[in-house]
């Protein structure tokens, strides 16, 4: 894994979290606002918090087939990130699914890709994210603010572009927020700092085509690895990029 320089004292360690926890002269360096904005967006989407009673502090974990995306997150979090590792190869996943009784897995063979995992180091400031879990369920906190990077990461994890048929040539952004489907006003209120007033129905946020344009202005540049989710030019270009996404940013049996 290699050593990483501690941003607080400048010395290098392989196990930084252990250094912060044990050192008499050094402690947990503060997380800046941008890191918190990124962590919030990830946790709104695909990330989970790992916080067993045996650990002094939580860490965040993100599973994805999109290795490019995880590598980009790794660069953004820098010393806070442990690393990106290959979690399970597509063959291992297929084998596990075959021995599983769940019928639904058998039908999605073509979608099976190698699975990667990014983990952060354990840090005292990650305790606030452990608090998102209430009664085994993930809930957005009341003080959540949708900064552009936060909204953008939530979108690439849980959102997509919807292309209509029959003359509808402008796509619409939708984002799944099933865990919050009972808090309509709260979820819509999250968009107060943006020019968007989405509808929220059955756990699904839907933007109009105009709001979709404002959305992309607000969030800015595409997230590396998820370029296709930012392609609003035409359905053909979108589908071309989506296919390229599987070719470029995912693998099968990398091990
Ligand atoms: Zn240090």
**147: CA distance to ligand 1 center in Å?**
30
Give percent above pLDDT 90 in the chain.
Answer: 76
- Residue 168: inside a domain: yes
**20: CA distance to ligand 1 center in Å?**
6
Predicted confidence at residue 167, as pLDDT, reads 66
**31: CA distance to ligand 1 center in Å?**
14
**76: CA distance to ligand 1 center in Å?**
20
**123: CA distance to ligand 1 center in Å?**
13
- Residue 187: inside a domain: yes
**pLDDT confidence of 200, banded at 50, 70, 90?**
very high
**28: CA distance to ligand 1 center in Å?**
8
Q: Tell me: do 19 and 38 sit in the same domain.
A: no
Average pLDDT score over the chain:
90
Is pLDDT of 217 > 50? yes
Predicted confidence at residue 96, as pLDDT, reads 79
pLDDT, tens only, 45-85: 999 999 999 999 999 999 999 999 999 999 999 999 999 99
Domain boundary residue among 107, 138, 169? 138
CATH number where 190 lies: 3.10.28
- Residue 71: inside a domain: yes
**10: CA distance to ligand 1 center in Å?**
6
Q: Tell me: do 198 and 131 sit in the same domain.
A: no
- Residue 254: inside a domain: no
Is pLDDT of 102 > 60? no
- Residue 255: inside a domain: no
CATH number where 113 lies: 3.10.28.10
Q: Tell me: do 60 and 82 sit in the same domain.
A: yes
Structural domains of the chain, count = 3
- The DSSP H or E segment spanning 127 is helix 127-130
**32: CA distance to ligand 1 center in Å?**
17
- Residue 5: inside a domain: yes
Q: Tell me: do 187 and 94 sit in the same domain.
A: no
Nearest to 34 by CA among 64, 5, 76: 76
Question: In whole angstroms, what is the distance from residue 194 CA to residue 214 CA?
Answer: 9
State the residue range of the domain holding 2: 1-30
**12: CA distance to ligand 1 center in Å?**
8
Task: Evaluate whether 156 touches 226 at the Cβ level (below 8 Å).
Answer: yes
Q: For 43-79, b where at least 16 C-beta lie within 10 A, e where not — what string?
A: bbbbbbbebeeeeebbbbbbebbbbbbbbbbbebbee
Question: In whole angstroms, what is the distance from residue 107 CA to residue 27 CA?
Answer: 50
Domain boundary residue among 138, 162, 187? 138
């Amino acid at each position: 894994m290699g050593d990483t320089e501690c941003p607080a004292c400048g010395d290098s360690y392989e196990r930084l979290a252990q250094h912060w926890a044990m050192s008499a002269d050094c402690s947990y360096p503060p997380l800046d606002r941008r890191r918190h904005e990124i962590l919030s967006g990830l946790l709104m989407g695909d990330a989970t918090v790992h916080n067993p009673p045996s650990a002094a502090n939580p860490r965040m974990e993100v599973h994805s087939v999109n290795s490019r995306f995880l590598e980009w997150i790794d660069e953004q979090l820098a010393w806070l990130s442990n690393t990106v590792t290959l979690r399970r190869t597509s063959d291992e996943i297929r084998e596990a699914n075959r021995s599983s009784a769940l019928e639904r897995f058998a039908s999605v063979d073509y979608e099976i890709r190698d699975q990667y995992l990014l983990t952060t180091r354990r840090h005292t400031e990650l305790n606030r994210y452990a608090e998102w879990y209430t009664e085994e369920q993930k809930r957005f906190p009341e003080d959540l603010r949708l900064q552009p990077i936060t909204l953008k990461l939530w979108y690439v994890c849980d959102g997509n572009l919807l292309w209509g048929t029959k003359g509808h040539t402008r796509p619409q952004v939708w984002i799944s927020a099933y865990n919050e489907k009972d808090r309509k006003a709260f979820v819509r209120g999250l968009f107060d700092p943006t020019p968007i007033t989405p509808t929220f129905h059955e756990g699904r946020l839907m933007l109009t085509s105009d709001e979709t344009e404002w959305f992309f202005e607000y969030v800015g540049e595409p997230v590396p690895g998820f370029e296709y989710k930012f392609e609003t030019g035409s359905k053909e270009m979108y589908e071309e990029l989506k296919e390229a996404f599987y070719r470029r940013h995912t693998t099968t049996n990398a091990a």
